[in-house]
Amino acid sequence: MTVSVSPIPLAWGRIGLEAELEVARHHALVAALNALVFQADRGGAGAMLSAGFGFASVASSSVGLEVGYHYWFDAHRALAGPYIGPSLLLGTTTQATAGDGNGWQGYWGGALDVGWQEVLPAGLTVALGGGLAVTHMADATEPYPRLVARIGWAF
What pTM did the predictor assign? 0.94
Architecture of domain 2-154: Beta Barrel (2.40)
Taking Cα atoms as reference points, which of 93, 141, 113 lies closest to residue 6? 113
User: Which stretches of the chain are DSSP H helices?
Assistant: 48-52
Kindly state the DSSP code that residue 79 receives in the 8-state scheme: T
Residue 5 has pLDDT above 80, yes or no: yes
Give percent of the chain above pLDDT 70.
99
CB 37 within 8 A of CB 72: no
Nearby residues of 102 by Cβ (< 8 Å), 6 or more positions away: 95
The model's pLDDT over 40-91, given as tens digits with 9 standing for 90+, comes to: 999 888 888 999 999 999 999 999 999 999 999 987 777 999 999 999 999 9
Q: Report the distance separating Cα 115 and Cα 124, nearest Å.
A: 17
Q: Report the distance separating Cα 4 and Cα 23, nearest Å.
A: 18
Q: What are the angstrom distances between the C-alpha of 28 and each of 68, 83, 109, 127, 147? A: 9, 10, 20, 15, 20
Taking Cα atoms as reference points, which of 13, 100, 16 lies closest to residue 61? 13
Tell how strand 104-119 and strand 140-154 pair up: unpaired
User: Helix (H, G, I), strand (E, B), or coil: what is residue 122?
Assistant: helix
- The predicted pLDDT at position 46 comes to 85
Taking Cα atoms as reference points, which of 63, 57, 64 lies closest to residue 101? 57
Q: Report the distance separating Cα 3 and Cα 124, nearest Å.
A: 10
Q: Report the distance separating Cα 81 and Cα 79, nearest Å.
A: 7
In the chain, where the domains are located? 2-154
The model's pLDDT over 85-114, given as tens digits with 9 standing for 90+, comes to: 999 999 999 999 999 888 999 999 999 999
The model's pLDDT over 10-24, given as tens digits with 9 standing for 90+, comes to: 999 999 999 999 999
- The predicted pLDDT at position 78 comes to 78
